Amino acid sequence: MAEHRRHRPEVVHRRVSGPAAAGLSRGDVAYRMSSGLDNRVPDATSRSLWEIVRANVLTLFNAIVGTSFIFLLLLGSWQDALFGLAAVGNAVIGVVQEYRAKRSLDRLAVLEAPLARVLRDGSVQEIPTADVVLDDVLVLRAGDQVTADASVLESGGLESDESLLTGESDPVDKEAGAEVLSGSIIVAGRGTARVVRVGAESFSSKLAADAKRFSLVNSEIRNSLNRILRWLTWALLPVALIVANGEMQSRGGWQEAIASGAWTSAMVGVIASVIAMIPLGLVLLSSVAFAVGGVRLAGNKVLVQELAAVEGLARVDVLCLDKTGTLTEGRIIFDGVHELAEPAEPGWEHALGWFAADPEANATSRCLESDFEHDGGTPAVSSVPFSSARKWSSVTFDGGGPRRRSWILGAPEVVLAARPGGAGTGPATGAVLDRAGRLAASGLRTVLLAYADGTTITANDPTLPAKVNPVVVLTFREQIRPDARQTLEYFRDEGVELKIISGDDPRTVAAIARSVGLDIGDGYDARKLPEDPQRLEEVMGDNTVFGRVSPHQKKDMVGALQRRGHTVAMTGDGVNDVLALKEADLGIAMNSAAPATKAVARLVLLDGRFDRLPGVVAEGRRVIANIERVSKLFLSKTAYSIAIAVSFGLLNLQFPFLPRQLSFTDGLTIGIPSFFLALMANTRRYRPGFLRRSLSFAIPAGLIVTGALLGLNLYATSSGAADAGPEPLQSASVLTLSVLGLWILTVVSRPLDARKLAVVLAMCASLVILLNLPLAQEFFHLAWPPADLLRAALVAAVGGGLVLELLAWIHSRKFPR
């Protein structure tokens, strides 16, 4: 792949022999291009920009708000149309949020190679990846990324790293006839392969296509708010009709109101009742709280791809972890030497130095470079590079005549395998294999160094001699992330269940899981996973560590956990994790992850530090707990708005507020204070049932406020205090509602600390100032009511406040913190 970036497309005039001697001709390529058999992939997601705008703007909810806004402007009451700003803000935030998600999905790509090396007209050419066509012959070398699914024609020690796609970290040997998958990396050898699938049909493209399905993160807050808005949408029309009839009847009946022109003020009352029912500010404030949480996390090197993801991890009760790149750093490190005899055969350190310095060394041998230096002494006579098929490599040094010695480095069970007349039959061999097996069971990768005298092993005849002598066992381990143990302990303490899901050997995965503090036995081999969904759910519930898991199995496993009622988070860094990250309630990617993986993840740990996750949990808890707190304010307003509208309409009483007056009380008792409350610290642990808890307080509180206002207005009507016109009674109603609103604010802010108390006192002071400010009085049509109405308003407010205290006590007993 690096070589691709160094060169521009060019024709390399080198003849190739064998089954792929010529490749496709220019005419063959042109025919396939015209037939659509090239490697171009459609990049559109399931939602266009217009669909996103339509989904967020052209809704029944927005139609009601927009119609009310336009109607007030036509009536000349622009002061009463302030609610339109909140509606516009909600729509803009929704469009921007989903468009950002769309752009991330559009950029999703499994293939990174900009160029492909192909054989055409008998010559090797480098062409753009998109121009590869069906039946093209790919020329593959170490470092290349395979650009389309292909069948191997010729193989010279060809090995493919498919860890990005399958999760298995060991290279896969590719002989003639084997398939190489698009997106995999050639790590050793060279060869040719004929393309069998291109474009949308290739393995990497199908992964990307599944990942590009549009979806929003599962958010309890957003789902609850949407549910409330759906309920309100159905309630708006009947409530509006009740209010309209009450308004007209209070003005002498429909005919009299229409004839006198009083219907215009009646319609303003209807619109005021309708808009008061809608918690516009709560939707907007939730988006703002998510956005501020995202900014805070960005300061801690956590990228939030979707705002509601800030909430997600606080709700998670199962965390699925990919081993490579999450628990481990994704690289092999040298662990130690275990000598098999004393003293060890001289020259073994020199041999290991040669293996480490060999230009064709694999990743395991290169780990030895810092511990064993090659002194450049005795030159090598011959060598055999490592192959995952053979599972060994060798070097032969010439000491002259019978002193010629071959050193073999490879898997113990292969190097010491029984051969006629040779090694592998004696008790010493069994002891060596037992020792290597015990080391492997502890999660270490084992490699044996052995030698054979008087023999030469060549690449043309890579055959092990009959008798070999084991010298040392070398152990390697994956580098565990230093923050893994502490972070896993945090999640266990918080009651989050952990699942380790990997494409590697389940025994190795289990050993690594034990090394980071998980008390488990052996892992479960995913090749034995049942296909029946119900049995799969049972297996997922009974096991913690899973190995040999395919990408689609990861997705199915996440789905099985979700069907058991869990909220699932999934971490990963390979393309093999893309489908599971997409399926999970919350996908988390490391910064080292493949571009496709980061594109579908909701959170990206920019510095790759696993210990950032507890901070994400804390931020999510702050958002959830604070939005639950302020939701009680907004939903209380919705409850009393509906109750006031229905009760006043049925009793043929005028709606007691103008829309602008409701904006006045909303701003003082809900809008401004809730903004501060939503951003304050809050470490309360998440508990399901956000909507039930909020409504269990908001509905009774709304009825208490309605009872107080209804009592005030009935008193004014019966005593004749309402005969002086609507303004004094409206002012008295505003005062009553403001005091009760501040009382609710005080209740939901508990326990009060210095900051919350300051907010409450500031709102009380603002109420007194605005009621005495001539400019505010003129704009909001407010004035201090006459003495009798003022006394009635204060009695109604204090009486309602005492009942609110009783409600708060009952609610705290039913839902303790």
* Residues with a known catalytic role: 322
Helix (H, G, I), strand (E, B) or coil at 730: helix
Residue 27: what are its φ and ψ, rounded to 5°? Answer: -65, -40
Pairwise CA distance, residues 33 & 431, whole Å: 61
Which letter does DSSP use for residue 38 in this model?
Answer: B
Mode of pairing for the β-strands spanning 524-525 and 545-547:
parallel
Residue 211: what are its φ and ψ, rounded to 5°? Answer: -70, -25
Pairwise CA distance, residues 336 & 815, whole Å: 57
Helix (H, G, I), strand (E, B) or coil at 470: strand
Q: At what angle do helices 533-542 and 551-563 cross, to 10 degrees?
A: 90
Going from the C-alpha of 303 to that of each of 93, 407, 628, 748, the distances in angstroms are 18, 50, 24, 32
Radius of gyration, CA atoms only, the chain:
36
- DSSP assignment of 375-413, as one string? ---SPEEEEEEEETTTTEEEEEE--SGGG-EEEEEE-HH
Burial of 71 (0-12, 13-18, 19+ CB in 10 A): middle
Going from the C-alpha of 244 to that of each of 70, 80, 257, 661, the distances in angstroms are 18, 17, 11, 19
Strands (E), 121-246: 123-128, 137-141, 149-161, 172-173, 179-180, 185-197
Pairwise CA distance, residues 533 & 529, whole Å: 10
Which tokens sit at 402? 């019978």
- DSSP assignment of 533-579, as one string? HHHHHHHHHH-SEEES--HHHHHHHHHHHHHTT--EEEEE-SGGGHH
Pairwise CA distance, residues 727 & 706, whole Å: 19
